[in-house]
Structure 1
């Protein structure tokens, strides 16, 4: 018997939908991009239950005829591609011809559309890729498309969706990406009847501030570089607004949002020595390049693209960011006019005669800078010289003086972070017996990071930050499981200035934060305020503590194996731990050592990837000297 058979269209459509529509945010992206391509000036997004119950996009674009409205739900139906060469000249957003067909395969869809020249519009109702109803209807010009009960016919896929708060964050992320690319259009987002975004048409800077927060208004540096190969424009954040996560990083190529670790490396390279190593800069950059130089049809979501010449794009982006930083007096720039010795160089003193002019004009270097479309040209003969071009971007190792400066700054910055307390995990005598720490022996701090504690058969070298993280981690963990947190009321509530995405995340974490001792209230106008903090933490700058906690939580978010509560406990332990580079007193060191060996798991950091201390025994030390 033959065993190979063609799949039914309904199953094939559902399989294709799995590539394009992975979650409600995927559908939001496709529908918003279609509205932009339709020439709309006003686009409204309405969601219920984070898109699981309803996703509706209403636009005032050109609308569709009755035939186009029906064909738009067929697979491989598109108005943007007629021949294969068109794939390499795409200037619009959606073009794959599978978005609406995929949505119709996994949701109940209603479409109302009308062109301005038509008296009546078209109403279409589709369920499970089958047209249930199609009829004329009264409608304003433009298009309104609703998709209800996402994955209603694929319950296994629906079970894999995250909580409403998590899915809403993804929707907000996709909404911001599209809205950022088109600041001249009006966008709004309404969730469960409450307007989350109301973005009036305006300049790019206004759109960035509206979407990412008013606190960025004075923290943005404009960037604009134009060449015959690529135009780069947008904004970069000053070093002080760098974050622990990559959240506020946007690269658009021909107005299409992309993800590129390669270009991100170029931008981060321009910020070397301006921000801490673990921080990421904020940027919103737009790259305009000939569509023929870019292949955008390499991924179903079209967020990963290929450049014809990645190396030159890398160099242009890095140079543009460095130039913008220098223009804003953030990074040092060279001014040769300040050095009088330059005037004595032969190149300035000697005349530039006719023969030398002709020789220079015929050189490849001169052509590279004067002829159009040659700025990126590299001769094949010189390729061998560029094999190790990446080495140019490798940062040099920090010298000891810079480390000392960083240590001093950290000491100043975290002056109020250090708070030790007595804990009741194991008896102190048992801990000392296990590790044989000599009681009362003097302790030594090494490199403002390590504590050297004498033991009976050698010594123990303790990493002060990792050790304190372990101490705080076990304390917070016990507090959460015992529901025994004691909160201290603040005299004046501290208002939080958060972006919409961070507000959504914070609302999801409120119950777990309350278990630890943070009480945060939400007002009627969607403003969050800290009213109480854990009693055993030092007061002061509560808003900064919550903002940092949210950043670290997003950093931990890739660790799917951890629960939400576990991530919060880890974040708090890392945030409040004494940092490497902090000078400790003898009393603080002794307290830290005693508390560490009272922990249930004293030898590992909370992540389990690093030790908190290393033992050096006598026989090992003797071996180092060949004894």
Structure 2
């Protein structure tokens, strides 16, 4: 007698269910894909006990006749493939023909379906994959699938399901992603008799505001690019306002929800230092590509995809996101309550939209486009009245904490505008001839308030100085330009054992940064020189604080060594809250800030600048 035997279908289906049906959310995903493929424009999801007791999907799609309904629960039976070549031209979400067979084998399964021209609906009931009932019943056109007591006959699998809150969270995230991917479909979600949402209009704005709070959509930036190889459409979040988790990143390949590490990393890298550490930007992005260039048959869950040329996709995806980010001023607005668009209303004249009912989201409700870095700085400096004084020589380290760096020829206009007016108060700052100097005040020794042409801007003095120091430190370490200023009286530092280990690791880069350190005993060094930005008298404290910050960053974050050192140095050496600045120091700090590559955020991602326009002020005071 042979030792190898063909497994019965019910056992094979249970084994297959281990890959296809991992939790209640897996059931919801497979059934929703079938509902969408059926052409439904209305889908309801009903769950009880986080899907453990009941998952019911109701759609108004094409429905099935008796023969198709019986085959749909058979393993490897599908209407979406006929031969292997069809895998290269898939236009449907489902295609494997395993889902219903796997689901029915581990639950009490009921299928009701009716074609539009059929007089009655057909009902099929299965228990553990075994047919239990077939009958005719009354029902609306479409299909309803009810899955009860999931894993009732696989107690080990049911035992390892997570808490109801966790399982419900997976289901909610899944239904939310589908409702955003298919706005032309009306979606309803009911959890334990409580209706969570019921979208009846194809308005993406309404859905985003429902999920993320009123006005959320206004903070998004539209992305759009298309060529013969790849199309990209969708929205990304403004980093100064949106600090969200990775679950709030949606990638769709040919409208299929997918997970792809390359896309996630490219998105993160495009934002760069605009993000707070360990945070991720919001993204709702649709990529269109020839189906033959992407493999969706990687895993039974159909979430993972592989591109035939991943490098080319990244090389097109990354610049599009980077360009969209750089197009907008990411300094937050202190916005008044903006009028809300009516869900379902038509786009404003001149706005654009793309398929499936997407409406272009207004970036600002006030009649003002985003102010660029150049314009914002120009507005601040507009009061110079064309004066062209010679650029002052950089003050010594003892004279000011803000040494003025050499300015490239391309930015000669900034150099010419650097003036060392050392007035000590706001009254004196305004005392000069009209238009002679920009208006600037220090608020609570913490924030700098500046008048600009379009309103005002508020700058956090600590993070502004941190941004300046960070970029200067990176540039110095990469260029190996001498940056050390010798101390008249060297300072001795005694390290703790862990401090000396960190010091030994970064010793070479400390030297590149400008720290001239000489060993003095087993765990001590003499500070003989420091970077020119270090304040006199703080040499020892700065070095010890930098080492502590460096170790903390290394434990919490995965930063490249020099980047970590530059961030640690800038954080510990920047001016602190509560430190009073002269008018000249404030102006020099602002000039240095706008000479950086990223003036809108500090190296850790916190916003540096907040601006308020006159239109917003007028709105607050009822003038608009």
TM-score (norm 1): 0.55
**Helix, strand or coil: the match of 2:35?**
helix
Q: Is the 8 A contact 1:449 1:464 kept in 2?
A: no
CA RMSD, 1 decimal: 3.4
Matched residue, 2:390? none
**Helix, strand or coil: the match of 2:247?**
coil
Moved more, 170-179 or 160-169: 170-179
Moved more, 204-213 or 320-329: 204-213
Unaligned runs of 5+ in 1: 343-397, 407-442, 453-460, 471-551, 556-578, 586-627
Moved more, 57-66 or 2-11: 2-11
Q: Is the 8 A contact 1:233 1:286 kept in 2?
A: yes
Matched residue, 2:246? 246
Matched residue, 2:164? 164
Matches within 5 A, 1:198-237: 198-237=198-237
Q: Is the 8 A contact 2:222 2:236 kept in 1?
A: yes
**Helix, strand or coil: the match of 2:273?**
coil
CA distance in 2, matches of 1:315, 1:257: 21
Change (3 A) 1:447 1:401: farther
Change (3 A) 1:202 1:88: same
Matched residue, 1:301? 301
Change (3 A) 1:314 1:463: closer
Matched residue, 1:13? 13
Matched residue, 1:389? none
List per-residue Cα deviations over 1:76-97 (Å, max 9, x = no partner): 0100100110011111111110
Matches within 5 A, 1:93-104: 93-104=93-104
**Helix, strand or coil: the match of 2:81?**
coil
CA distance in 1, matches of 2:196, 2:86: 38
Count of aligned pairs between the two proteins: 374
Change (3 A) 1:464 1:405: closer
CA distance in 1, matches of 2:539, 2:247: 37
Matches within 5 A, 1:66-215: 66-215=66-215
Please report how far the alpha carbon of residue 200 of structure 1 lies from its aligned counterpart in structure 2 after TM superposition.
2.8
**Helix, strand or coil: the match of 1:232?**
strand
Q: Is the 8 A contact 2:39 2:61 kept in 1?
A: yes
Change (3 A) 1:444 1:254: same
Matched residue, 2:608? none
Please report how far the alpha carbon of residue 328 of structure 1 lies from its aligned counterpart in structure 2 after TM superposition.
2.8
CA distance in 2, matches of 1:200, 1:405: 54
**Helix, strand or coil: the match of 2:286?**
strand
Please report how far the alpha carbon of residue 580 of structure 1 lies from its aligned counterpart in structure 2 after TM superposition.
7.0
CA distance in 2, matches of 1:404, 1:159: 56
CA distance in 2, matches of 1:233, 1:448: 47
Q: Is the 8 A contact 1:124 1:134 kept in 2?
A: yes
Matched residue, 1:401? 469
Change (3 A) 1:464 1:260: closer
Please report how far the alpha carbon of residue 322 of structure 1 lies from its aligned counterpart in structure 2 after TM superposition.
1.9
Moved more, 50-59 or 263-272: 263-272
Please report how far the alpha carbon of residue 333 of structure 1 lies from its aligned counterpart in structure 2 after TM superposition.
9.4
Please report how far the alpha carbon of residue 202 of structure 1 lies from its aligned counterpart in structure 2 after TM superposition.
1.7
CA distance in 2, matches of 1:403, 1:333: 17
> Which is helix-richer, 1 or 2?
1
**Helix, strand or coil: the match of 2:62?**
coil
CA distance in 2, matches of 1:333, 1:83: 56
Matched residue, 1:370? none
**Helix, strand or coil: the match of 2:246?**
coil
CA distance in 2, matches of 1:36, 1:282: 25
Q: Is the 8 A contact 1:448 1:583 kept in 2?
A: no
Q: Is the 8 A contact 1:242 1:279 kept in 2?
A: no
Moved more, 145-154 or 212-221: 212-221
Q: Is the 8 A contact 1:56 1:145 kept in 2?
A: yes
Q: Is the 8 A contact 1:40 1:62 kept in 2?
A: yes
Change (3 A) 1:402 1:20: same
CA distance in 2, matches of 1:154, 1:218: 47
**Helix, strand or coil: the match of 1:117?**
coil
CA distance in 2, matches of 1:581, 1:121: 74
List per-residue Cα deviations over 1:572-601 (Å, max 9, x = no partner): xxxxxxx9779899xxxxxxxxxxxxxxxx
Change (3 A) 1:213 1:88: farther
Change (3 A) 1:447 1:122: farther
**Helix, strand or coil: the match of 1:272?**
helix
List per-residue Cα deviations over 1:197-222 (Å, max 9, x = no partner): 22233233433333333341221011
Please report how far the alpha carbon of residue 269 of structure 1 lies from its aligned counterpart in structure 2 after TM superposition.
1.7
Q: Is the 8 A contact 2:244 2:282 kept in 1?
A: no
List per-residue Cα deviations over 1:304-339 (Å, max 9, x = no partner): 11112111110111111122223334497999xx9x
CA distance in 2, matches of 1:405, 1:247: 34
Q: Is the 8 A contact 1:266 1:314 kept in 2?
A: yes
Change (3 A) 1:97 1:400: same
Unaligned runs of 5+ in 2: 332-371, 379-408, 411-465, 475-536, 558-570, 578-624
List per-residue Cα deviations over 1:169-227 (Å, max 9, x = no partner): 00011111211110111111111000112223323343333333334122101111111
